[in-house]
Amino acid sequence: MAKFLLFIFVSAALWGCGGGGGGDSGRSGGAGSADFDCNGSCTNLNLTIEDVGRVLSQAIAGAEQMGAAATFAVVDRVGNVLALYQMPGAAATTTINGQIGAAGGLEGLTVPSTLAAISKAGTGAYLSSQGNAFSTRTASQIVQEHFNPGEQRQPGGPLFGVQFSQLPCGDVVVSDGSMAGPRAMPLGLSADPGGIPLYKSGDMVGGIGVEFDSAYRLDRDILDTDSDPEEIVAMQASIGFEAPSKRVAPNINVGKSLRYTDLGYEELEPLPEVLPEVNSANLVVAIRAGTTFGDAASGYVRSVRAGVATAFLANSAGSARFPTRAGTGLPGGVQLSPAEVDAILDSAQVTASRARAAIRRPLDSAARVSIWVVDTQGAPLGFTRSEDAPVFGTDVALQKARTATFFSLPDAGAVLSAAGLGGYSAAAAGFLGPSALAGGNAITCRAMGNLSRPFFVDGIDGNSNGPYSLPFPGTAAGSSWSPFNTGVQLDAAFPGIAAALGGASLKSCTSSAFGRRLANGIQIFPGSVPLFRGSTLIGGLGISGDGVDQDDLIAFYGASRPGLDRAGHTTIGDPVLGFNAPKEIRSDQIILPIADTRLRYVNCPEGAFVGDNSQNVCDGL
């Protein structure tokens, strides 16, 4: 019945610089002609009506060469749908399949192809920037139970869980009639090959998504090289708007080299000299121009914070949507003040400007991230983002701040039970001890990730699942884990996702039992810390946009005494801890039932800062 109802819901929804020279060597997947050596400061451009029409014409020609009838979506950098096109005879729906025999969650649901195409286009745009170009194939590599997929006894992907972000029920995504972003992705972020970013003169301006094979899935085996038809058509559509060859995923190593596409542009069949016309009768959403990122109309306005080039989320008038404010009142008046929120944002932003990026090129670039501070009720108290940070981090960083805060609250277990998720709170109490969800521990998103894997300890096939996850398919009856059914993360948000796709206008994905505390959903990969005043929880800090160790560094060091001092806030925060949790209650101090095993709290890179030889900068904080 749930599958049928969700099908009805989604079926009803209408969604609606200088060139060349020097730097890193290029890799197959991008185009050398697109190498402008942009480092985040190149002029932002936009997709014009003519650009969008050209992308569609090339997509149609590519599909016709294959004898396929396809659905295409083009979005701008902040997720506005600039065109949605269905060729005559295109499949109206596609079926979600994690390909591991899982049951429950989104597994087996049939959804409109238009929604799949939008999510694929948006994924390419949201994960990319002037410093990196990632595709839906890249996403597939980094969200599965092993990294790399198919390699046994390897931990889960570094962005495990990111697929359940940018949800249409959240309170950060914009759903009004303006062009301001960020916009929701109807199915979250996609891991189905066939979505890639679009570039102009080195600037990331949008994405193209292609869907026609009626299967919404992942690449389970990256040891081979696919000739994926949807990916090929997406690449053909992007000709003239290719990602720079020096920025595509294979140039970026996060312990293992990442994938972008399985073919190079030089391997594509040439398109006809005369391209087919775009038939307006086949447009589900008419062609329009995209926004220029950084203009007020895009929802992001440039600024400067603590001497660093930044941006903030803005309304159509250019005013901040989330101005700095005080936290909800707490006993004794210990809630965060506006000055303290600004100090934490400054400290995290300065830390990011010093941190050596993991997913950007050229090498030794500074990390570019989104930063949120929330109070104990999940209310946003302030936001900032680095220049050219990828857009996906806007929503994810808030998820992370809220997740760390909520799971450190004294009533977390009771709230989960009231929301009908008591099985997870019981499992956590049995695994971690009765104080686990009663305010006895400071929990980060890294610790939540440890507890949300289908195997605990992570990556060891055959182990039981973590308390916030589900059994791996074939190991137990009932609902089972897949990238489309992650456990408490999806179960908490599922009602809101279904209602939003059915046309409901929501500002929370979770039930009323949570209030606003997890309004845009739970996140389960690293990059957050709960904030404390002494032993009292007062909020959370979430970071997203670069490598997960970098996100951890910026959160933990940003909340620390040295971080605050570096940003000039020497009198704000505890004289030893800043706003970090007391060491004795951090998640890495929990005694687990598995011998010689601990949760992690944070994991900082060893050589953290550009131009600084300091090692292990998080030790002792």
Q: What's the pLDDT tens digit per position in 145-191?
A: 999 999 999 999 999 999 999 999 999 999 999 999 999 999 999 99
Q: Which residue has the tokens 């039992």?
A: 513
Distance CA 554, CA 563 (A): 9
In this structure, are residues 287 and 162 in contact, taking their beta carbons and an 8 Å threshold? Answer: no
DSSP at 155: P
Burial 215-250 (b: 16+ CB within 10 A, else e): ebbbbeebeeebebbbbbbbbbbbbebbbbbbbbbb
Radius of gyration for the alpha carbons in the chain, expressed in angstroms and rounded: 23
In this structure, are residues 408 and 442 in contact, taking their beta carbons and an 8 Å threshold? Answer: yes
Beta carbons within 8 Å of 499's beta carbon, 6+ residues apart: 9, 169, 506
- Phi first, then psi, for residue 422 (nearest 5°) are -65, -25
Low-confidence stretches of the chain (pLDDT < 70) are 1-28
- Phi first, then psi, for residue 154 (nearest 5°) are -120, 145
> Where are the strands (E) in 387-497, listed by range?
none
CA proximity to 210, closest of 281, 319, 142, 137: 137
Tell me what percent of the residues of the chain surpass a pLDDT of 70: 95
Q: Which residue has the tokens 């901040």?
A: 320
- Phi first, then psi, for residue 107 (nearest 5°) are -60, 130
Q: Which residue has the tokens 């909520």?
A: 406
How high is the pLDDT of residue 27? Answer: 57
CA proximity to 198, closest of 343, 58, 348: 58
Element (H, E) at 50: helix 49-66
Q: How far is CA 169 from the centre of its chain?
A: 15
pTM greater than the 0.85 cutoff: yes
Beta carbons within 8 Å of 177's beta carbon, 6+ residues apart: none
How high is the pLDDT of residue 18? Answer: 37
CATH class of 32-285: alpha beta
Q: Which neighbouring-strand residues pair with 110?
A: 95
How high is the pLDDT of residue 317? Answer: 86
> What does the angle CA 392 – CA 396 – CA 401 come to, to the nearest 5 degrees?
150
How high is the pLDDT of residue 28? Answer: 66
Q: Which two tokens stand for residue 120?
A: 């694929």
Burial 456-491 (b: 16+ CB within 10 A, else e): bebbeeebebbbbbbbbbebeeebbbbbbbbbbbbb
Distance CA 361, CA 95 (A): 36
Q: Which two tokens stand for residue 175?
A: 């759903």
Query: What length does the chain have?
Result: 621
CA proximity to 170, closest of 516, 502, 544, 528: 516
Distance CA 300, CA 385 (A): 9
3-state secondary structure 172-207: CCECCCCCCCCECCECECCCCCCEEEEEECCEEEEE
How high is the pLDDT of residue 316? Answer: 81
Burial 350-366 (b: 16+ CB within 10 A, else e): bbbbbbbbbbbbbeebb
In this structure, are residues 407 and 518 in contact, taking their beta carbons and an 8 Å threshold? Answer: no
The amino acid sitting at 285 is V
Distance CA 266, CA 563 (A): 48
How high is the pLDDT of residue 4? Answer: 34
Burial 168-191 (b: 16+ CB within 10 A, else e): bbbbbbbeeeebbbbbbbbbbbbb
Distance CA 469, CA 476 (A): 13
Q: How far is CA 292 from the centre of its chain?
A: 21
| Helix 338-354 vs helix 548-558: crossing angle, to nearest 10 | 140
- Phi first, then psi, for residue 68 (nearest 5°) are -110, 150
